[in-house]
Amino acid sequence: MRTHIIAFLLLLVPVTSLAAGAEGIPLRSAEVDITDQASLQRGARIFVNYCLSCHSARYMRYNQMAAGLGLTEDQVQENLMFAADKVTEPMKVAMSTSDAKRWFGNPPPDLSVIARSRGADWLYTYLMTFYKDDNPARPYGVNNLVFKDVGMPDVVWELRGIQVPVYREVSGAHPAETAVIEDLELQTPGTRTPAEFSRDMRDLVNFLVFVGEPAQIKRHQVGLWVLAFILLFFIVSYALYREYWKDVH
Find the Cα–Cα–Cα–Cα dihedral 37, 92, 14, 160, rounded to 10°: -70
CA distances from 170 to 175, 176, 178, 182 (A): 11, 9, 5, 10
**Mean pLDDT over residues 31-53, rounded?**
94
pLDDT in tens, 162-213: 999 998 877 765 555 677 888 899 999 999 999 999 999 999 999 999 999 9
Exposure letters 37-48 (e unless 16+ CB within 10 A, then b): eebbbbbbbbbb
SS3 212: helix
Distance CA 236, CA 78 (A): 53
Distance CA 107, CA 206 (A): 24
Query: Which CATH superfamily, name and number, covers 2-214?
Result: Cytochrome c-like domain (1.10.760.10)
SS3 214: coil
Task: Delimit the domains of the chain by residue range.
Answer: 2-214, 218-249
Predicted model pTM: 0.78
